[in-house]
Amino acid sequence: MGKHTVIFRNQPKILATATIAGPKESAGIVGKYVDKQLADDKFGEDTFEKAECKMLTYAIEHAIINAGLEREQIDVLVSGDLLNQIISASFAARDFNIPFLGVYGACSTLAEALAIGASLIDSGYLKHVMAATGSHFSTAERQYRYPLELGCTRPPQAQWTVTGAGGFVLGKEGDIAITSATFGKVVDYGITDVNNMGAAMAPAARDTILTHLKETGRDPSYYDLIVTGDLGALGSRILKDLTWEKGVDIGKNHVDCGEIVYKVIEDEFQGGSGAGCSALVFGSYLFDKLRHGGLRRILLAATGALLSTVSSAQGESIPCICHAVSVEVV
């Protein structure tokens, strides 16, 4: 076992997923695979924050149903989101009578939750763990950037926070396994442009992906896909260059959830981002390919930018992280 990579002896399984997507996301590649397409991005609530929480609650509830389980059979919910004090996860957890572990890794939160959940299952402590995360364009804009009402122009290197959520039920039985997890280190290349997350996060993705390949003794070709969370088009190109510099070519099998979730016109924007981005794409489109053929081995390497408006205002650069889990049909 490498220092950063845990190889799971008992190969915990992903029993089922459930995803929900906003209107813009539903029009994209994930549309036909999600459990629910939203026509109203307020989901019938009076605030976007309550809508985000309701979406996460929906994903958790329906993942349990899709797994054929009862709420009482979920031993722990591991969840987080982008909002201050991860209120979407905390308030969603309030609706379920399930022990709750709050986690925060920005847009890497899903991979972190899957890694912690898989560890708790693999060790035999727990039978079923729910990993879930989500995000909402309008809550993220308000909290991290500007009020939508200002109608600020978005620079071309900007990304679009995904309105979506995904829930993942982990257990012992099944044929889609989480075979290993690589815990990421914080990497900071000194990027201070909060509109250029892809560039800020790419070095963290390289660090974790190369660490994973080295510690598992695997070549990139071992995986059908090396999936990053939300580097976007520019960040993905930077990642391929950075890994190429280290003598590793992931160009043939790399795909980024943020790049495929929308139809990207790179002059306008770089694609999707947010804790819900990898949850939505992996939980719907990619998971369907694992279940029904087309994909057998995925490395999900989700990155997160660990900044806050306060750290940026105080002149800090953007520390980033990437956690990875290998998901294989066994």
Q: Does 55 bind its own copies (CB under 8 A)?
A: no
Amino acid at 44: G
Closer residue to its own copies, CB minimum distance, 32 or 185:
185
Binding mask 168-187 for its own copies (x = CB under 8 A): ---------------xxxx-
Tell me which of 75, 230, 256, 328 binds its own copies, using CB under 8 A: 75
Helix (H) or strand (E) holding 322: strand 320-329
Tell me which of 286, 321, 325, 327 binds its own copies, using CB under 8 A: 321
Q: Does 102 bind its own copies (CB under 8 A)?
A: yes
CB atoms within 10 A of CB 31: 14
Stretches 13-21, 115-123, 149-157, 295-303: which one binds its own copies (CB under 8 A)? Answer: 115-123
User: What would the two tokens of residue 297 be?
Assistant: 């081995």
Say how far apart CA 165 and CA 30 lie, in whole Å. 12
Q: Does 4 bind its own copies (CB under 8 A)?
A: yes
Closer residue to its own copies, CB minimum distance, 27 or 148:
148
First CA to last CA distance, the chain: 20
Q: What is the greatest pairwise CA distance in the chain?
A: 52
Closer residue to its own copies, CB minimum distance, 193 or 288:
193
Nearby residues of 206 by Cβ (< 8 Å), 6 or more positions away: 239, 242, 243, 246
User: What would the two tokens of residue 314 be?
Assistant: 């105080």
Question: Residues in contact with its own copies, total (CB under 8 A)?
Answer: 53
Which of the 8 DSSP states describes residue 84?
G
Distances (CA, A) of 230 to 45, 254, 279: 27, 12, 11
- Give the distance, in angstroms, between the CA of residue 63 and the centroid of all CA atoms in the same chain: 16
């495929």: which residue's tokens? 260
User: At 305, is the secondary structure helix, strand, or coil?
Assistant: strand
CB atoms within 10 A of CB 302: 35
Tell me which of 32, 152, 309, 330 binds its own copies, using CB under 8 A: 309
Stretches 76-84, 161-169, 240-248, 254-262: which one binds its own copies (CB under 8 A)? Answer: 76-84
Helix (H) or strand (E) holding 131: strand 129-135
Binding mask 269-298 for its own copies (x = CB under 8 A): ------------------------------
Q: Does 205 bind its own copies (CB under 8 A)?
A: no
Tell me which of 36, 66, 104, 249 binds its own copies, using CB under 8 A: 104
How would you class 291 by CB atoms within 10 Å of its CB: exposed for 0-12, middle for 13-18, buried for 19 or more? middle
> Residue 105 CB, nearest distance to its own copies (Å)?
5
Q: Does 150 bind its own copies (CB under 8 A)?
A: no
Say how far apart CA 106 and CA 189 lie, in whole Å. 17
Tell me which of 85, 265, 268, 330 binds its own copies, using CB under 8 A: 85
Q: Does 101 bind its own copies (CB under 8 A)?
A: yes
Q: Does 230 bind its own copies (CB under 8 A)?
A: no
Closer residue to its own copies, CB minimum distance, 30 or 202:
202
Say how far apart CA 259 and CA 271 lie, in whole Å. 5
Closer residue to its own copies, CB minimum distance, 123 or 221:
123
CA atoms within 13 A on the CB side of 228: 37
> Residue 224 CB, nearest distance to its own copies (Å)?
26
| Binding region for its own copies (CB under 8 A) | 1, 3-4, 6, 47, 49-50, 75-76, 80, 83-87, 90-91, 93-94, 97-106, 112, 116, 119-120, 122-123, 125-126, 143, 183-186, 188, 306-311, 314, 316, 319, 321
